[in-house]
Amino acid sequence: MSKLNIVGHSVLRTDAYDKVTGGKGYTVNLRLPGMLHGKLLRSPHPHARVLRVDTSLAAKLPGVKAILTAADVPQIKYHPVYFSPSEAASMVRDMLILATTVRFAGEPVAAVAATRPEIAEEALELIRVDYEPLPAVFDATSAMQPGSPQIYEHAPKNIVMNPSFNFGDLQKGFEEADYVFENTYRTQRVHTCYMEPRVCVVDSDTSGNLTIWSSTQHIFGLREKLAFALGIPISKVRAVKPEYIGGGFGGKLDMGFLEPVAALLSLKTGRPVRIEHSRYEDFITTARNPFEVQMKTGVKKDGTFTARSAKSILDTGAHATHGAVVLMVHGFFGFLLPYRCPNQTWEGMTVYTNNIIGGGFRGYGAPQAAFAVESQIDEICDKLKLDPIEFRLKNAHVQGEPHPFDPNFTLSTYRLADCLEKGAKQIGWSKRLPVGASPGTKKRGIGFACQPLWVSGCMGFPDIYEHSGAILKLNVDGTVNLAIATVDMGCGQNTVLSQIVAEELGVPVTAIRVTHADTDTVPFDAPSHASRVTYSAGNAVKAAAASAKKRVFQVASGMLNTAPENLEIVDSRVQVMGTPANGISLADVVKRAESPYVKMVPDGMERSPIEEKGTIMGIACLAPSSNPSPSAVQFVEVEVDTETGEVKVLRVAYAHDIGKVINPSGAEGQVEGGFQQGLGYALMENLTFDPSSGACLAADFLNYKMPTAVEMPPEITSLWVESDEPTGPFGAKSLAEPCLIVPAPAIANAIYNAVGVRVRDLPITPEKILAALGKLDPA
Amino acid sequence: MKHSLILEVNGERHEIAVEASATLLHVLREDLDLIGPKKGCDSGGCGCCTILLDGRAVYSCMVFAMSAQGKKITTIEGLPKDGKLDPLQEAFIQSGAVQCGYCTSGMIMTAKEFLANSPAPGDPEIRRAISGNLCRCTGYHKTIDAIRTAAFSR
């Protein structure tokens, strides 16, 4: 491969200047003339029938322009998840825009649009709702017991999905085992904590056409879901891509109540309507699903897996939404696939409760699985005195094998072994002390966890979109417009895609301008999720650039009097390969294509060939040809204060095979940010609810403990194991999620090494450590 | 009922009418159309709304607009001097400290006061200084790099 000038370099974020000088591009800034403000009235009851909604007093409040109740909205059941078609067989359509039965504390029952937000708030207070409270249930296990409140008619025992998969002969596998381990692990509900709240503005015209701006991870999904829920043709909805959003992490991967409500209020009033979530509303809108994972594992004395079985219970809350898919990702990429074992069984259950809805969150079921799987492996190695690194290698997949999920694909690049080696060296694994051997009251320990197999997008997964498209337009000043539906939620998608285009086209990255896009004008791109943008959208923009280049060469070949195959673009100059002096600027080529066919010159007129005329564009719409697997390992060193139970993470070494690293600084940023989320997940974050009313007890940043700069370790080293993935743009695979999947089990394993305490439910709080050390007085 | 108020923001004088209960954040964004200070929680928990009030970093969502009369208010928009970015802004760009950017304005304003009072800060001091500014994207690592760079490039 020729030398790369832009890909592989830590190019500065293309939107950083704007963000450090104010940040114009967030949806939260949008104001339209005549705009009204909408607010949602939310049920205080976790489970209730709405008997009557009296809006008469609210309607009289000056400034109130429209009120909606369930009677005013289409009663079309939908599912809000962007990455799956509305009518996908594997998704559960159990949501209504406004319902007459509420199933979680906070479910909206009415909405108001007013000239000022304060008036809308006041109007909510004037709406009188008569509820008939129903018995509620708040944990999945209880929800499945006979006699528990039945939350939906379509889900007996509140079980909405119950897939199971068997491979090989589990019974035989356990018979062959020298040792069998049975453990249960539990994870908690945590909030995505994107800093820009969920917010939208919807405008309409008198023909019922809607334009929507939303802080969203997917404009095409928003268009599709909004049209479906409103019962209108898809062409009546135009979703505009935000320039960038203030974080998503999977929490903006579905349509909320706010978007269809704002749309209906706009249609009713004929004015734009804005709805912004308060932080409280965001806390009760989306969360990582809590899981209980019961594992039974059989191994030979040398550590080879002979049988693995697990049962996973997912609490999806009041609506199935992501719960249908999180379960499968958890089961397959969390449990069944990461390691080789001939005899495996997994059963999953997605269970309704009267808790808040579980949404998407980076890792999507895998962090919950990794906590269980990687903790248990550590427990097995400790019991059997096996080397945990050797254990993983013994049971790992091998490069070149068929992909465990879809044998149509191959593990063309697979470098788990290198990641283990590099990470171990960086952390000083060979100097690790035996369990509890660290001296003093503040004990140090080292542990690690892997995500051996992951995804680069969703190619091959049933009922999940995976295709992308891009439009490039070359300008007469040598710049290039990139119009693509991909949303930059902070990971640097705009920058990475610009790098890929620039590298392919032979122009500086500063020449690329990511421009306006909306669902009317650009090709479909699947959401910014599932670690897919670099690989999938990256392939699309690279192909679009190649297509633009062809046209550039067509025009330039006439100007330079040579066949198009002889040309190349280097540093914005179109030149003949081998004789770079024979060339012209790219800008001049574009000018030629865009200039009048006939040009007036001092002594008459000049014509250039008609074939050269016409804007130079490059368009590509495609699906990627594979789903290559990255591999990730994280080693951590912790210090556990045996007097307070407090855990500090001192050092992190993270080794990840992501194929070609497109932007090293950006990639490090992903790992560092992922660790903040993983650290919070492991040690402190917990979205708690009152066990009798379902009311959220941690719906603000003082009560919800998210790591600040003080809690983060001073040292996080990212080690890239580069490989050349043949199906990825410039050899790239994916990055985004494994760095959040591995921290919790790595920390749990390090804690065990430090103090011999094994905590099997997250978060691992000081209380749990002290209790396990026998230092808490029984109450 | 609205009260008239004179606010000095980024060196400019503004005469506006506000409700007594209006926060400074609300007034800056809605009445003065400044987009720099951001609403992350509106309850003093995240720091996205941080601005300088007479040089002190405060959560503008926790300040009544009316109490800011007579004080010098500086938002991120007021940092550049003579068309040149503040060293902190420059450092944030160069260090890769900006991801989604929503916390950035608040971070920089907090750091601005901190650096004015700390000639040679160590990393632990920098961490404590920004512990009231939440960030979900960066893990704070490159943010600290940026502040350190700005501190020692003076």
Domains of chain A (ranges, CATH numbers): 31-134+195-247+252-283 (3.90.1170.50), 396-455+627-779 (3.30.365.10), 467-622 (3.30.365.10)
d(CA A756, CA A775): 14
Residue A400's alpha-carbon distances to A177, A198, A343, A460, A725, in angstroms, are: 28, 43, 22, 18, 12
Q: Is the pLDDT assigned to residue A772 strictly greater than 50?
A: yes
The gap from C-alpha A161 to its chain's centroid, in whole angstroms, comes to: 22
* Among B78, B100, B126, residue at a domain's last position: B78
pTM assigned to the model = 0.97
A202-238 pLDDT, tens digit per residue, is: 999 999 999 999 999 999 999 999 999 999 999 999 9
Domain check: are B18 and B73 in the same one? yes
Domain check: are B121 and B138 in the same one? yes
Domain check: are B26 and B55 in the same one? yes
Rounded to the nearest 5°, which phi and psi values hold at A594? -100, -10
d(CA A556, CA A550): 10
Domain check: are B73 and B92 in the same one? no
Give the gap in angstroms from C-alpha A729 to the nearest C-alpha of chain B: 22
CATH number of the domain within which B140 lies: 1.10.150.120
Task: Name the strands in the sheet holding B56-59, side by side, starting at the edge strand that comes first in the sequence.
Answer: B12-19, B2-9, B72-74, B50-53, B56-59
CB–CB of A196 and B127 under 8 A?
no
A432-464 pLDDT, tens digit per residue, is: 999 999 999 999 999 999 999 999 999 999 999
Chain A hits for B96, Cβ within 8 Å: 10, 12-13, 665-666, 668-669
A33-67 pLDDT, tens digit per residue, is: 999 999 999 999 999 999 999 999 999 999 999 99
In contact, B146 and B95? CB cutoff 8 Å: yes
Positive or negative CA dihedral for A698, A703, A708, A711?
A: negative
Domain check: are B117 and B62 in the same one? no
Give which of A674, A629, A329, A660 is closest to A454, Cα–Cα.
Answer: A629
Q: Which of residues 610-649 of A touch B (CB under 8 A)?
A: none
- By three-state DSSP, how is residue A588 classified? helix
CB atoms within 10 A of CB B4: 10
CATH number of the domain within which B42 lies: 3.10.20.30
CB–CB of B99 and A24 under 8 A?
no
In contact, A199 and A275? CB cutoff 8 Å: yes
Domain check: are B114 and B145 in the same one? yes
In contact, B140 and B109? CB cutoff 8 Å: no
In A, minimum Cα distance to B81 occurs at A21
Chain B hits for A249, Cβ within 8 Å: 136
Nearest by CB to residue A492, choosing from B36, B92, B99, is B99
CB–CB of B77 and A16 under 8 A?
no
d(CA A148, CA A136): 8
| Mean pLDDT, residues A235-252 | 98
Residues forming a β-bridge with A621: A469
d(CA A722, CA A574): 31
Chain A hits for B103, Cβ within 8 Å: 195
* Among B54, B78, B102, residue at a domain's last position: B78
A495 Cβ neighbours under 8 A, 6+ residues apart: A11, A12, A13, A14, A15, A488, A509, A663, A666
Nearest by CB to residue A279, choosing from B41, B130, B132, is B41
Strand segments, DSSP code E, in A128-269 are 128-133, 159-161, 164-167, 179-186, 199-204, 210-214, 237-240
Positive or negative CA dihedral for A220, A494, A535, A163?
A: negative
| Mean pLDDT, residues A312-323 | 97
Domain check: are B74 and B23 in the same one? yes
Domain check: are B47 and B10 in the same one? yes
Q: Which of residues 240-269 of A touch B (CB under 8 A)?
A: 244-247, 249
pLDDT given for residue A3 in this prediction: 85
Q: What is the CA radius of gyration of chain B?
A: 15
A153 Cβ neighbours under 8 A, 6+ residues apart: none
Domain check: are B45 and B93 in the same one? no
In contact, A210 and A222? CB cutoff 8 Å: no
CB pairs under 8 A between A and B: 181
Domain check: are B68 and B16 in the same one? yes
Nearest by CB to residue A195, choosing from B46, B92, B143, is B46
A584-613 pLDDT, tens digit per residue, is: 999 999 999 999 999 999 999 999 899 999
Number of structural domains found in chain B: 2
- The answer to whether the peptide bond before residue A763 is cis (omega within 30 degrees of 0) is yes
With cut-offs at 50, 70 and 90, classify the pLDDT of residue A777. confident
In A, minimum Cα distance to B88 occurs at A20
Q: How many CA atoms lie within 13 A of A203 on its CB side?
A: 13
d(CA B122, CA B127): 9
pLDDT given for residue B92 in this prediction: 98
Chain A hits for B42, Cβ within 8 Å: 278-279
pLDDT given for residue A1 in this prediction: 46
In contact, A374 and A749? CB cutoff 8 Å: yes
In contact, A355 and A318? CB cutoff 8 Å: yes
CB atoms within 10 A of CB B133: 26
B32 Cβ neighbours under 8 A, 6+ residues apart: B7, B9, B14, B16
Residues forming a β-bridge with A53: A129
Nearest by CB to residue A669, choosing from B99, B104, B123, is B99
CB–CB of B102 and A246 under 8 A?
yes
- The DSSP secondary-structure symbol of A81 reads B
Nearest by CB to residue A246, choosing from B42, B101, B139, is B101
Residue A5's alpha-carbon distances to A150, A200, A367, A543, A734, in angstroms, are: 61, 39, 36, 18, 20
The gap from C-alpha A226 to its chain's centroid, in whole angstroms, comes to: 21
- Count Cβ atoms within 10 A of the Cβ of residue A600 and give its class: 0-12 exposed, 13-18 middle, 19 or more buried: exposed
| Structure tokens that stand for A709 in this block | 């700069």
Q: Is the pLDDT assigned to residue A324 strictly greater than 90?
A: no
Full domain range(s) for residue B119: 87-152
Domain check: are B93 and B147 in the same one? yes
| Structure tokens that stand for A465 in this block | 């979109």
* Among B22, B46, B78, residue at a domain's last position: B78
Domain check: are B71 and B17 in the same one? yes
A175-187 pLDDT, tens digit per residue, is: 999 999 999 999 9
d(CA A409, CA A754): 41
